[in-house]
Amino acid sequence: MKYNWKRNYFLFFLFIAFSTVLSTFCGCASSYPRAEQKSEPFLTIPAVSPKQVPLYRLATIPSEVGIWVHSGIEELGTYSVILEFDPQIIKLKRIKGGEPPFDSMPFANKEDFLKGKVKIMAYHVEEKGPVGQTLVAKLFFQGLQPGTSPLKLSLEMATNPEGKRLAHAKAFLSAKEVQVVIPDSGE
């Protein structure tokens, strides 16, 4: 087999040209400024101050909310819950796992984080599951405007590690609401 350096050189040149064009139009190249710069979202609160307050300055209280599942005297293998909140006040920023064996990030559709209703579910592959009260997930919210958002959690389903439904399982949150405030800047 004869080495065709002209063909390989042409393919290499084509790859470089395509990469340059793609990075230019996608805004990925560092030497080309993006056509549209997104600014940090602001919230104007005339009653408080004529200044605009960046959304990242809004504080949520509490900053972390835990989801707990109580399986009674049976082992917990899977759970599925529905979380509801006011999407005008807060958005769900991220979800982390809880205690072992539910310390991995649970499943949830990120598109629902802004909608006010999120289905969260997880399972584990351990032979034995936790019994009683277990922290299965941690929720982190971002404030969108000052106010209070009630939190509602409903247990859709819980099973043991073999897949048998747990009829008496309960789910609850570590907080019933999230408050969004503007921290005093000390000015």
Q: Are residues 112 and 28 in the same domain?
A: no
21 and 61, same domain (yes or no): no
**Is the model's pLDDT at 7 over the cut of 70?**
no
Our count of domains for the chain comes to 2
Which residues lie below 8 Å from residue 33, measured CB to CB, with a gap of 6+?
none
Same domain for 16 and 81? no
User: Is 75 inside a domain boundary?
Assistant: yes
- Token look-up 């936790």 returns 130
Q: What is the pLDDT of residue 119?
A: 97
Instruction: Answer yes or no: is 100 within a domain.
Output: yes
Structural domain contains residue 177: yes
Q: How far apart are the first and last CA of the chain?
A: 77
CATH number of the domain within which 131 lies: 2.60.40.680
Residue 186 lies in a domain: no
Task: Say yes or no: 103 and 165 in one domain.
Answer: yes
pLDDT of amino acid 174? 95
Least confident of 24-33, 82-91, 123-132: 24-33
Q: Please give the model's pTM, rounded to 2 decimal places.
A: 0.70
| Residue 40 covered by a domain | no
Residue 65's domain comprises: 57-181
Q: How far is CA 8 from CA 2, 5, 20, 73, 149, in A?
A: 12, 5, 18, 68, 61
Whether residue 113 has pLDDT greater than 80: yes
Q: Is residue 115 predicted with pLDDT exceeding 80? A: yes
For residue 105, the 8-state DSSP code is P
Do 96 and 10 belong to one domain? no
48 domain-assigned:
no
User: For position 42, what pLDDT does the model report?
Assistant: 47
Q: Are residues 131 and 167 in the same domain?
A: yes
What pLDDT digit, counting tens, does each position of 29-70 carry? 444 444 444 444 544 444 444 455 566 678 888 989 999 999
Nearest to 137 by CA among 89, 100, 87: 100
Residue 20 shares a structural domain with residue 67: no
